Structure 1
Amino acid sequence: MTANVMVVVERQFDTPREAVFRAWVEPEELSRWRGSPGWHVEEATAGDRALGGRHHHVKVRDNDSATRVTTDGVYTEYFSPDVFVSRERITGDPGIDPEEPLELRVEFTKYGRNGTLLRIIQGPYDPDVAGWHGEGWEKELTRLAAYLGETSTVGGAR
């Protein structure tokens, strides 16, 4: 089957876009929310947060530390706090060919007075796994919402 399906997911947050953007690109923040339920980020690093900068993270299944999904990416666009695009190689996910890079585009649009409309576009995926990856993003964004809610009330507003 030919990988030709792009997954698109949107979510609104009652959080300023600078804070939402930071949650995506700062390794210590990314490690606190990325991963679907039952997973966590064990390692996250970032090089230059700019065009050509590299980033890396490893998701690990909570009940099986041998099950790991590694993402290695390079920013092909980077405009803080508006958008970043990353060309990524993902290994350890049975639905993704690690030899074929995916593109991840994340857009952060000011929404209302102090909110953010987040839009994720990722692919191309094989048609038979695209829906599963869309559901995975929905679960991760639920975790991001919880993280942003914690950080805006604990330790002061962002």
Structure 2
Amino acid sequence: MSNNAMVSRIENDRVLVLERVFDAPRDLVFKMFKEPEHLKRWWGPRGWEVPVCNVDFRPGGVWHYCMKCVDQNQGQFFGMESWGKGVYKVIVEPETISYTDYFSDADGNTNETMPSTEITLEFIDLDGKTKLVNRAEYVSAEALKTVMDMGMLQGITETWDRLEERLNEVK
């Protein structure tokens, strides 16, 4: 585990900014977000796996995935599937990925009852380490509160812990 804990802050009541430094080169950290074989190994909170991960990594392309709870200790969540879809807007390798993130179903249809999010990932080179900055802009303060109440902050913290573990495996 890293000593580089995630830092989070809320701006303008509807923008969640997360930052963390990873002890890995920027190109490698970027690759973790680009290639499905890597995403399947670390995306999602602990106790969840990614049995479906389709990535069309280009502006206008779609990332469609399923997270499934495989941890019996998570009670009511065990066996649950959570589908998501990202539509890429801007990709500047290895510096930036921006996309709109949606809750979806298995067919990729957007769940209109859940808030979408405008995500911008910035990968900053720090002499062999990488500072990852994730800006998530929600349509309203209420939409941000909805996902925070769902435990999103704990989930993304565990997800980034898993990313760090994956980086340590491959570097």
The TM-score range, normalised by the shorter chain, is 0.7 to 0.9
CA contact (8 A) 1:9 1:134 kept: no
Change beyond 3 A, Cα 1:128–1:73: closer
> Please, which of 55, 59, 62 is the counterpart of residue 51 of structure 1?
59
Change beyond 3 A, Cα 1:78–1:108: same
Which structure features the higher share of strand residues? 1
Q: Counterparts in 2 of 1:1-158, with a 5 A limit? A: 5-47=14-56, 49-62=57-70, 63=72, 64-65=78-79, 67-91=80-104, 98-99=111-112, 100-111=115-126, 113-124=127-138, 125-130=143-148, 132-152=151-171
Per-residue deviation at 1:37?
0.8
Specify every segment of 5 or more residues in structure 2 that has no aligned partner in the other structure, as ranges: 1-12, 73-77
Partner Cα distance (1:74, 1:57) in 2: 12
Q: What percentage of aligned pairs have identical amino acids?
A: 27
Per-residue deviation at 1:32?
0.4
- SS of the residue aligned with 1:126? helix
Partner Cα distance (1:91, 1:138) in 2: 22
Per-residue deviation at 1:52?
1.0
Partner Cα distance (2:17, 2:144) in 1: 14
Q: How many residues align?
A: 142
Per-residue deviation at 1:91?
3.5
Calculate the aligned-residue CA RMSD, in Å: 1.9
- The C-alpha deviation readout for 1:1-51, integer Å capped at 9, x for no partner, is xxx62222111011111100110110010000111011111110111x221
Q: Output the amino acid matched with 2:129.
A: G
